[in-house]
Structure 1
Amino acid sequence: MALNSTATTPPTALPYLDGDVPLAQFPTSDRLPVRNPADHRELVGTVALGTAEQVDRALDLAVAAAPGWAALTAAGRAELLRAAADALDRQDTAARAMLLTREHGKVLWESTLDVGGAAAILRYYAGLAAEFDAEVDHRNAVGTARFRRRPLGVTAVIVPWNYPVYLASLMLVPALLAGNPVVVKPSEVAPLALTETLRTLAAALPAGVVTVVPGTGPVVGATLTSDRRVRAVLFTGSTATGRTIMASAAPTLKRLGLELGGNDPALVLESAVVDDRLVDELVRGTFTSSGQVCYSVKRIYAHRSRYRELVAAYLDAANALVVGDGRDPETTIGPLTTRSQYDRVRALVADARQRGAQVTTIGRRGATARWECGNFLLPTVVTDAPHDAALVAEEQFGPAIPILPFDTDDEAVALANGTDYGLAASVWTADPAHADVVARRIEAGSVFVNAHRLGASDLAMPFGGAKQSGIGRRHGFVAVEECSELQTIAHIADPAGLPGPATPTRPGRQAPPGRKEQ
């Protein structure tokens, strides 16, 4: 399709696992359009609006699948996960990436990373099966015990729109390895590429192990988080929605894994060298996916001795960014995915300007971008903003970045920690010892040194937030642990060794062998 085409493709209905027919078309006429944020005239597909009754049917299927899936060893489940990864590899990754770019707006290399991550995550967690199956024996004076992990039960996965396939996989796959059937609610904003991935995954697994219910948060999400058959909820998204999920899940005490918002600081220390590599990394960490990454750089603090140098170099480097249609090879950052986020970022920048900040717009418009038809924003660098300006104090989730000076490490740490968020942060310096001292004082789940972008947190590194940035951890074996529970099986060989007086022997009854009358 030409970049400036107004043609549409046939609407794609999201699937639902209906009885014995895997991923049949969702039985509803209520649908929302999914439009290209680079050109609102282009209809990419439609998303069905599921009902509470359809969630109930999906949960029936998941409950029915639970005993058989839990009965397999993790090694047995891992073989099926590897087969699912092979099936995904046989799909047309380029076509799924293009679909994701059309529904989300991100550039093609990001979409390829997003959709291609599913198979990699399946194989990574399949490789942890032996660790899950391992049982620990414990011996004491009265017998032996065995410690093992067992599934939690039916798990709901509620997916965000910014990296839908990759983030869904980070929640879904550890839960599957741990033996839990999963019901997935895709985001209604960018559901199509994820659904194509889930279609293949579900077909590679026993019926009911993975089901999909599309729809809105207030209907599908709320039904999943309140139903007593759901034993765990995994969610990535805003802190506000996380609070709503906690309240909904509280009556049935569900296990929660919440990766929430972040206002992630980057601290350029006095010991830093402001060179091309540092500046390039900061620009990447800020503007990848138009700033719509949960742990991307949201505010930059630079030591006053480095401040002017950094601002000048940053403006120069970021000025090379090209904003346009993600399908255009010239484009470096695409449009914002939703109109509401576009409006919010503009409002935050306008508020900072009104409060005396200096606002510098950088970059250029791509030649093929239809600016009047998309959610395009040129990158913005904001200096001299007050610390309590909303652009500084809140998560902007867009291509606008405040850069502010500090004078001491204590001040930098106080500024970094002066927020309810604590997802990620970074420290920039040529002195590793200095970096370590400062990093240990930052209240964040992850602190990176001299990097802060996609790939900085690999699959083996536990990832999650402090404070109001979330509960629990993703990545690594800890993610599998959080999708399971410990069980102790204790064999008491000699109860006589347990505390407390013996029960008196009734008349006419002999004491057990080896037990003396008291």
Structure 2
Amino acid sequence: MTQTSTSATAPTALPYLDGDVPLGTIPSADLLPVRNPANRDEVVGTVALGSADHVDRALDLAVAAAPGWAALTATARADLLRSAADALDRHDPAARAVLLTREHGKVRWESTLDVGGAAAILRYYAGLAAEFDAEVDHRNAAGTARFRRRPLGVTAVIVPWNYPVYLASLMLVPALLAGNPVVVKPSEVTPLALTETLRILAAALPPGVVTVVPGTGSVAGTALTTDRRVRAVLFTGSTATGRTIMAAAAPTLKRLGLELGGNDPALVLESAMIDDRLIDELVRGTFTSSGQVCYSVKRIYVHRSRYAELVTAYTEAADALVVGDGRDPETTIGPLTTRSQYDRVRALVAEARRHGARVRTVGRRGTTAHWERGNFLLPTVVTDAPHDIALVTEEQFGPTVPILPFDTDDEAVALANGTDYGLAASVWSADASHADTVARRIEAGSVFVNAHRLGASDLAMPFGGAKQSGLGRRHGFVAVEECSELQTIAHVVNPASLPGPTVAAPPTRPSPSGRKEQ
């Protein structure tokens, strides 16, 4: 028998404005169940698939809110953002973390980090307000000019399912500080904890500054990316979807911020010290969130002289992982969030086997009673794999990793750079100079040395992709800059200093009356 959630308070992700006011009535046919990936029989809540009409009405509200929000100084906006952070802290973030674990599958510490990130990001960007408000004066022979930043206008934020609250906040908050009202489209896969978070945030801000329209990419996403009232689109997700958004936004020349897929390499150099710390960091960097992190380790390249040593130590460490329900304290990694991703990872591993790769299954099952009803996959470590199979060349987004040898630094760099991706990478060495020399040759937006996991890129460090891993940068003040545009106000008090000859006075000509006219 199919089990469903019977709680009268099971959350529904509805299109919202101003905190608690729904954007219209949603027909029941447009409600989609949100299921627990640890037990697909369990319905955690429902998501209303917002229509193009909901997007239209949300944009009306955002357009109406835009002048008032832009007229505030960033310092005044920052005060409201801090108040919103306080409100998020008061409204039971622990409960939202439990909700996120149920809809996503990730373990509790990750959900706590994800949900708690919203308040932390609000406070961080509030601290950058003075930098936004600062204006630069310029003088020349013609007069004076002032350079200032101004908002772009209504901004659409399209959120992925893997770290929904944290990644939404990284896009949303810089846009708010810069003076833009924002319409957010959560993923229909994990909309519940994010929508609850955004309801609290919206209630702490002026009406219409934040609106939420959950829905599918093909309907709500398309409506946002094609509407000419939207001046910027911020998106985190797959490269394929990024291309679709770029094409949809082209006719109206929207500003784009795209953080896209990654096939992130870790290079373990001959000069590395393969000790417990290195192994622990690499295992964390690979398998956190079951590998469903945009910049987690996807490929490991090891100098041939250290290859056997690393494979043995890494496999033994990964064998301690426990796969199960994210609510279970013994669980190390949870299930895959979607069944389609579960099927894809299994297919990638099967293809590797067919091409002669050695696949080691590691870790153990937790005590969950619903193993067969969950999207659970034990981790796999893959060796002896050809370099051209999909497991190596594509982003897996799951608990599997190929480990491959190299002979020289040149070969390692060529292998690392040999895909269309360039989000992140890491270099591992006991020689800081050696590591830095190699890191500078890697085509990636971020290269970490002796680390490669959540937290390695903090909020002050610009983050984004090279090549087909995206456009623009998140984190730091650069994210605020990308949500605004420069304006120059020039006061010309000495036109004579400008180039070009003076235009002569027009010649006089006789009037019909015989008088001369100018």
Indicate the TM-score class for this superposition, using the shorter chain for normalisation: over 0.9
Contact 2:363–2:378 (CA under 8 A) maintained in structure 1: yes
Residue 21 of structure 2 corresponds to which residue in structure 1?
A: 22
Distance 1:274 1:18 in 2: 53
Distance 1:430 1:8 in 2: 55
Change (3 A) 1:19 1:456: closer
Q: Secondary structure at the residue paired with 2:12?
A: coil
Change (3 A) 1:367 1:198: same
Residue 478 of structure 1 corresponds to which residue in structure 2?
A: 478
Residue 9 of structure 1 corresponds to which residue in structure 2?
A: 7
Residue 84 of structure 2 corresponds to which residue in structure 1?
A: 84
Residue 127 of structure 1 corresponds to which residue in structure 2?
A: 127
Deviations 1:426-482 (Å, cap 9, x if unpaired)?
000000000000000000000000000000000000000000000000000000000
Structure 2 residue identity aligned to 1:9: S
Change (3 A) 1:195 1:18: closer
Residue 248 of structure 2 corresponds to which residue in structure 1?
A: 248
Change (3 A) 1:206 1:339: same
Q: Secondary structure at the residue paired with 1:46?
A: strand
Structure 1 residue identity aligned to 2:360: T
Contact 1:265–1:297 (CA under 8 A) maintained in structure 2: yes
Contact 2:5–2:44 (CA under 8 A) maintained in structure 1: no
Residue 515 of structure 1 corresponds to which residue in structure 2?
A: none
Contact 1:14–1:25 (CA under 8 A) maintained in structure 2: no
Contact 2:17–2:207 (CA under 8 A) maintained in structure 1: no
Equivalent residues in 2 for 1:78-157, closer than 5 Å: 78-157=78-157
Structure 2 residue identity aligned to 1:404: L
Contact 1:62–1:211 (CA under 8 A) maintained in structure 2: yes
Contact 2:62–2:211 (CA under 8 A) maintained in structure 1: yes
Residue 220 of structure 1 corresponds to which residue in structure 2?
A: 220
Distance 1:462 1:475 in 2: 5
Q: Secondary structure at the residue paired with 1:257?
A: strand
Q: CA deviation at 1:18?
A: 5.7
Q: CA deviation at 1:348?
A: 0.1
Equivalent residues in 2 for 1:193-208, closer than 5 Å: 193-208=193-208
Deviations 1:185-217 (Å, cap 9, x if unpaired)?
000000000001000000000000000011100
After alignment, is 497-506 or 117-126 more displaced? 497-506
| 1:430 is aligned to 2:430 | yes
Distance 1:128 1:28 in 2: 43
Structure 2 residue identity aligned to 1:461: M
Residue 513 of structure 2 corresponds to which residue in structure 1?
A: none
Distance 2:469 2:140 in 1: 41
Deviations 1:279-303 (Å, cap 9, x if unpaired)?
0000000000000000000000000
Contact 2:291–2:399 (CA under 8 A) maintained in structure 1: yes
Residue 72 of structure 2 corresponds to which residue in structure 1?
A: 72
Distance 2:144 2:25 in 1: 52
Residue 516 of structure 2 corresponds to which residue in structure 1?
A: none
How large is the Cα RMSD of the aligned pairs?
1.5
Contact 2:302–2:403 (CA under 8 A) maintained in structure 1: yes
Contact 2:14–2:50 (CA under 8 A) maintained in structure 1: no
Q: Secondary structure at the residue paired with 2:256?
A: strand
Distance 1:350 1:310 in 2: 24
Change (3 A) 1:106 1:25: farther
Q: CA deviation at 1:9?
A: 3.1
Distance 2:507 2:252 in 1: 49
Structure 2 residue identity aligned to 1:144: T
Q: CA deviation at 1:508?
A: 7.3
Structure 1 residue identity aligned to 2:27: T
Contact 1:8–1:44 (CA under 8 A) maintained in structure 2: no
Between the two proteins, what is the percent identity of the paired residues? 83
How many residue pairs align between the two structures?
Answer: 506
Structure 2 residue identity aligned to 1:423: L
Q: Which ranges in structure 1 are unaligned for 5 or more consecutive residues?
A: 510-518
Contact 2:425–2:448 (CA under 8 A) maintained in structure 1: yes
Distance 1:427 1:211 in 2: 42
Structure 2 residue identity aligned to 1:136: V
Q: CA deviation at 1:229?
A: 0.2
